[in-house]
Structure 1
């Protein structure tokens, strides 16, 4: 097992009817800005319920945070925070709203140009750059990204998606009430299942370092998603299925299963370019790329692919190559059973677009991806070609 530091201060308030808990989590004299996305928080009454719980606190709202939150939108919110003296941010939504709110918390506290915060990549922004951040809490309405219990986010600017990390923006608390997710469209639930699944494989299907606890937790998350994925789409008010999805998505990216093990993230990095260029949902890009990447990288990942085949899919018969092939095929079939297509051609992206995608990877510095940093642009091209 590799050396690691683990730190996660987020308090999780899980279960039915937990919105009332917010009252104990936010100071009574706080000036709160509630952030949300396209209007579902209003439409389904969550915003009104939260405002009622906040009672006599001074409350303002900022809506319209987009899927793949835009830098230009977020800096407007940061200006409101500074101008109005906001001292607590409360995000209602999924990963995009929560990611955006984290950036608002940093940008509002940063003395320089907010655009500078996008240049750190996966390196956490130090307290020498941003000394404090506005505290945040979250009310999760879309299980997928795990942003409700980590310190990272992804921000869109021009034709790129930029990771931003800082320990200052771990949510102080997150309300995880599975019932708040019942009204989600089926495609958003499917995307969430896939996002959580691929988050897990990015930290699990790498190379062995005898991280036994991490592996077993990862395998449990993957098996749970396979067990409940179709059910939670077909039966949106099946509380037990949806509760297991919500907690799986949180555990998939709260820092626990990546501690002390290698991490890949190539599927995500290539997928970000597909979203930026063609507007394909993030979860859909992962369903396209993961099976293809596993095929192209099967030698580099052989040992963990065999473990994945045996422990997650119960494939123990046949040659090693046959077992690996079957595991990858079962992964693709799982995504497709969720109603998500898994080929670039399904989204009208042909071979002529691959140089464009590779060009974007180059422009954004994605020239040495994977857990071993040897996934070159040529290999990215092969993955994309295999995904046609």
Structure 2
């Protein structure tokens, strides 16, 4: 069962299908997976898998495709609704259709774990589900050439976001995981800049694929309690707007950090110095603010939006619903309220 993304048609036609044909495999193709895969799409895939008696799933695409496949793999063998199974019963599936991944858009590191982000349109929730882990993943930078440059850049920022959300989690004491995270963040920043200038440079694309894998293979999270509050806000924004994930994160992060840094100025100052090479200012708060400005400047430099209007999100009537439905994490240095999340959304507009 080959499950391609819209960006991977050439990879599928020129590489995947000939190899499967040569191996004598019968293929049931499931196309049309959207950038924010829906729960309805998961159920469609699970029905197809049961009908065709699929014994292996090959996900060809970016994070949304592998995310959708992970849950298709689990739902196909589960005799009940997987959303209710995981959220109401608080259980995890244990039986899956085996799967592999051919990555055509880097950024999420989805091929490295069993987590998936799915939009339940009826519930107006975009949230995590847990399914299969890939038995193998093919990370060939040449395959990422099939996606638009904007998507590749957006994916690079998603990688940076994963690293930041882990880095700002507890503890804040010096530790090896954070040292590694700083190195990966510097690499993403350097290579994202190069990607914009040299979009056909396979070495640059390969480095970004490896960074995306590092961001989600668990190494940077060792010993850390992660803080994914920016992701939680963006997920609910996506549930109401179907917006581009990486772009939404790019808008939210600087605004969110302006609300957080005063509660952990030393941590944000370290981020400024060690990731953005900001000289020490008069105090940690000044250095921290300079680091957040450097992040915002980088976002503009690589061509990502700085506000929701640039993403085509004009209205604000739904912001209150987004804020009130956002999962509030413990936070890297303080716990937000729904009211403060609403103010963050308004400032992002």
Q: TM-score, normalised by structure 1?
A: 0.83
Tell whether 2:239 aligns with 1:272. Answer: no
Tell whether 2:336 aligns with 1:375. Answer: yes
CA contact (8 A) 2:229 2:328 kept: no
For residue 279 of structure 2, the aligned residue among 313, 316, 334 is 316
Cα 1:317/1:367, change in 2 over 3 Å:
closer
Q: CA RMSD in A?
A: 2.1
Cα 1:249/1:220, change in 2 over 3 Å:
same
Tell whether 2:51 aligns with 1:89. Answer: no
Residue 178 of structure 1 corresponds to: 141
Looking at structure 2, the residues matched to 76 and 207 of structure 1 have their Cα atoms a distance apart, in angstroms, of 40
Looking at structure 2, the residues matched to 206 and 300 of structure 1 have their Cα atoms a distance apart, in angstroms, of 13
Q: Structure 2 matches for 1:92-241, cutoff 5 A? A: 92-117=60-85, 119=87, 125-126=91-92, 130-158=93-121, 159-166=124-131, 169-210=132-173, 212-241=175-204
CA positional deviation for 1:324: 0.7
CA positional deviation for 1:376: 1.2
Residue 300 of structure 1 corresponds to: 263
The DSSP-based 3-state class of the residue aligned with 1:259 is coil
Please list every run of 5 or more consecutive structure 2 residues that lacks an aligned counterpart in the other structure.
none
Looking at structure 1, the residues matched to 2 and 311 of structure 2 have their Cα atoms a distance apart, in angstroms, of 35
The DSSP-based 3-state class of the residue aligned with 1:181 is helix
Looking at structure 2, the residues matched to 186 and 330 of structure 1 have their Cα atoms a distance apart, in angstroms, of 23
Residue 289 of structure 2 corresponds to: 325
Tell whether 2:2 aligns with 1:37. Answer: no
The DSSP-based 3-state class of the residue aligned with 1:297 is helix
Cα 1:77/1:348, change in 2 over 3 Å:
closer
Please list every run of 5 or more consecutive structure 1 residues that lacks an aligned counterpart in the other structure.
1-32
Q: TM-score, normalised by structure 2?
A: 0.92
Tell whether 2:13 aligns with 1:50. Answer: no
Residue 48 of structure 2 corresponds to: 80
For residue 59 of structure 1, the aligned residue among 27, 40, 50 is 27
CA positional deviation for 1:236: 2.2
CA contact (8 A) 1:47 1:92 kept: no
CA positional deviation for 1:34: 0.7
| Aligned residue pair count | 344
CA contact (8 A) 2:8 2:147 kept: no
For residue 357 of structure 1, the aligned residue among 294, 299, 319 is 319
CA contact (8 A) 1:367 1:376 kept: yes
Looking at structure 2, the residues matched to 142 and 281 of structure 1 have their Cα atoms a distance apart, in angstroms, of 13
Looking at structure 2, the residues matched to 228 and 82 of structure 1 have their Cα atoms a distance apart, in angstroms, of 42
CA positional deviation for 1:60: 1.8
Q: Determine which structure has the larger helix proportion and give its number.
A: 2
Residue 251 of structure 1 corresponds to: 214
